[in-house]
Homo-oligomer: A and B are copies of this chain.
Amino acid sequence: MMRTRPLKVALLGCGVVGSEVARIMTTHAEDLAARIGAPLELAGVAVRRPAKVRAGIDPALVTTDATALVKRGDIDVVVEVIGGIEPARSLITTALEHGASVVSANKALLAQDGAALHAAAGEHGRDLYYEAAVAGAIPLIRPLRESLAGDKVDRVLGIVNGTTNFILDKMDSTGAGYQEALDEATALGYAEADPTADVEGFDAAAKAAILAGIAFHTRVRLDDVYREGMTEVTAADFASAKEMGCTIKLLAICERAADGESVTARVHPAMIPLSHPLASVRGAYNAVFVESEAAGQLMFYGPGAGGAPTASAVLGDLVAVCRNRLNGTTGPGESAYTRLPVSPMGEVVTRYHISLDVADKPGVLAQVATVFAEHGVSIDTVRQQSRPDGDGEASLVVVTHRASDAALTGVVEALRSLDTVRGVASIMRVEGE
């Protein structure tokens, strides 16, 4: 029952992802038509540099006037792969107003303005899909939103940034420092010239906001996500992690509080046990671990970026949105009915690995232990080591039981005020246990 009138697709952006989307639409046209029930027609491609030659794309379709393209009124689906907030936000809104459904790969925009965009989609009875916005090709948003729709997700723990995973994996496997590993990532094209968005955790935080909202059926804004980058992770931290049978990953962690009445979302480097499935995620791969009440522990693994993998996710959404259109329906929109508040970082409960430089004399351990006790933070293990250079200092490594971030912050402030504590060398959270 193939419909012959094609569904018209407008492509906004024709870079690494967009050109791959256009290529697959052409080379796999018959398969896509069979799966949708109607052929697709590339109706227009909005770009910034129209003079650039784009293999396989009819130059007559190329325009610099993206607004006119989305306003045409005959477009069935707009695929937005420009990225960034503006003009993407205005274009998506205008597209929805003019009757098009939208497929986007724009994590920054969805994290910041997802609620408003979903509202616009709902108002106009159109779809807004964005599987490609989180973890590239890995099916994650659809499984969370649909497959687990009858379950209660308690926790999402993921490696959602390939650049930082490449750097940390390199540091782990070669003993390299951060800068050296970053340089290699840059040389190989895994890191951008300005790596800030990746290494400072902004990219992962946007994904955490999106994932937390979907997982807990609430709204989590980008500002709600606690964020700590990984530029201060050292080779010494990896050595400490190894002693504990751990490695270090930059994790996005979304959790439901024990009482179920609030949620938290955060991005920071953390130690995880080598036995945890996320520990063996190598190179630029992404993986997301989901814990839910009935399903238990699930993991989704795959390439988190790149033109073809991201295009795969975009095209999956495109097929779904087109099927909905032919059926005169829409898929599940935003589900934010729980309205759970997002708690601040101080209320997050986890374990900590703290390295201190202390005076190498009797009584220091007792002093330090007293500080932890006074703040209600229970110590799991402690290891004291005299320094081989005999400068009168020792290293003290403390691993705590679970405690709130606020309590731990109090401990660290108090430790810094002790004469016998010369410095707090590092504090790292321990997750996945």
Contacts and interface: CB of A to CB of B under 8 A. Distances in A.
A177 interface: no
Residue among A297, A298, A332 having the largest count of chain B Cβ atoms under 10 Å = A298
Interface in A317-348: 317-320, 323, 327-330, 332, 335, 337-338
A190 to B, nearest CB: 15
Interface stretch (A43-51, A304-312, A395-403, A424-432): A304-312
A38 interface: no
Nearest to A296: B303
A166 interface: no
A120 interface: no
Determine the interface band of chain A, counting residues with CB < 8 A from chain B: 35 or more
B298 A148 contact: no
Interface stretch (A89-97, A139-147, A371-379, A411-419): A139-147
A31 B295 CA distance: 16
Nearest to A308: B294
A300 B300 contact: yes
- The residue among A311, A316, A329, A332 with the most chain B CB atoms within 10 A of its own CB is A316
Contacts of A318: 150
A367 interface: no
Q: Top 8 nearest A-B pairs by Cβ distance?
A: A150-B315, A139-B147, A137-B295, A294-B312, A295-B312, A139-B143, A298-B302, A149-B319
23 contacts: A20-B294, A24-B151, A28-B150, A35-B335, A137-B294, A137-B296, A138-B298, A139-B147, A142-B143, A143-B147, A146-B316, A146-B320, A147-B316, A149-B319, A294-B309, A294-B315, A296-B303, A297-B302, A299-B299, A300-B300, A300-B301, A327-B330, A328-B329
Interface of A: 20, 24, 28, 31-32, 34-35, 131, 137-139, 142-143, 146-152, 217, 277, 280, 292-303, 306, 308-309, 311-320, 323, 327-330, 332, 335, 337-338
